[in-house]
Amino acid sequence: MVTSFYQIFELLKSKPKKRLVAAYANDSHTIGAVSMAVDTGIVDATLVGDTATIQAVCKQEQIDCCKFHIVQEADETKAAFKAVEFVNKGEGDLLMKGLCSTDKYMRAILNKETGLLPPKAVLSHVSLMSTTAYGKMLVFGDIAVIPAPDLHQKIAICNYLINTARALGIEKPKVAVIAATEQMSPAMQACVDAAIISKMGERGQIKNAYIDGPLAVDVAIDKESAEIKKVGGPVAADADCLLFPNIEAGNTFYKTIGKFTNAQLAAIVAGAKAPCVLSSRGDTIETKLNSIALAAMMAK
């Protein structure tokens, strides 16, 4: 079982390299993270963007631009669509957002004719965290794509979390379906959805996981809280995955953990034909590098 980002990088080094395609890679953060990923031996990289700008950034950052395959496209929107085209043609295994805005990046992915969305698929954001405050890696979502997921979308998110945890070597992940309380309150939709998803897991309708909910975050990850509140079962105090009820809860958790602890973070969009790195503008180069590694782990 993988318990750190270091182990993810070491595991990837023993596997065939994946090809990363970065959309509108005109900025130092994107180029820096991709350069580090190439140097560690986990990916080869195609940068789609303005060649002159990319070369200037590489010179400024003292990065050898010859390590990349650079494709000229100075227009932000066209660069996003061209990067997606590379993946669709089999010339890329994972996609990464560069300097292009999130709406243009997602528009290229979601385009019905030329995008990366399979029929009836649900796109969702999956995050991975490693922190000394918790004894193992934690997979959670959705923090960035679906504002208020309905039951169908939560089931899809749940499966993405499970698949990610299993890719890390956790054979049967423990999924906590999060609400504001571990008490079953019919007046709270998050509690109702959590109870349904939990029962679906119990009946085998969602496979390869222990699922429990509703659970408050403290009960899901803290032994003392679970004991005080008398919540038992395989998930309480030992969750591998947190399924958040909405984007406000998930996004706040992600950014609070990132700014107030020593956590290492990664994030990708799941549900497309290939994993897509979608970093926040406030994310560090380290987080972007970790996200590349996570996407490479999930790439077929």
Ranges of CATH 3.40.50.10950 domains, the chain: 5-120+272-298
Residue-wise pLDDT tens for the chain (300 aa)? 899 999 999 999 999 999 999 999 999 999 999 999 999 999 999 999 999 999 999 999 999 999 999 999 999 999 999 999 999 999 999 999 999 998 999 999 999 999 999 998 999 999 999 998 898 999 999 999 999 999 999 999 999 999 999 999 999 999 999 999 999 999 999 999 999 999 999 999 999 999 999 999 999 999 999 999 999 999 999 999 999 999 999 999 999 998 898 899 999 999 999 999 987 767 789 999 999 999 999 998
C-alpha distances in Å from residue 267, one per residue of 120, 124, 201, 231, 283: 23, 11, 25, 30, 10
Closest by CA to 178, choosing from 206, 234, 216, 224, is: 216
State the Cα–Cα distance between residues 101 and 223, nearest whole angstrom. Answer: 41
State the Cα–Cα distance between residues 84 and 63, nearest whole angstrom. Answer: 25
Rg from Cα positions in the chain: 19
Whose tokens are 């169908």? That residue is: 152
Ranges of CATH 3.40.718.10 domains, the chain: 124-260
Token output for 89: 């043609």
Whole-number pLDDT of residue 218 = 97
Whole-number pLDDT of residue 136 = 94
Whole-number pLDDT of residue 169 = 95
CATH class held by domain 5-120+272-298: alpha beta
The CATH homologous superfamily for domain 124-260 is Isopropylmalate Dehydrogenase (3.40.718.10)
How is residue 122 annotated by DSSP?
A: -
State the Cα–Cα distance between residues 244 and 178, nearest whole angstrom. Answer: 5
State the Cα–Cα distance between residues 143 and 161, nearest whole angstrom. Answer: 12
Whole-number pLDDT of residue 122 = 95
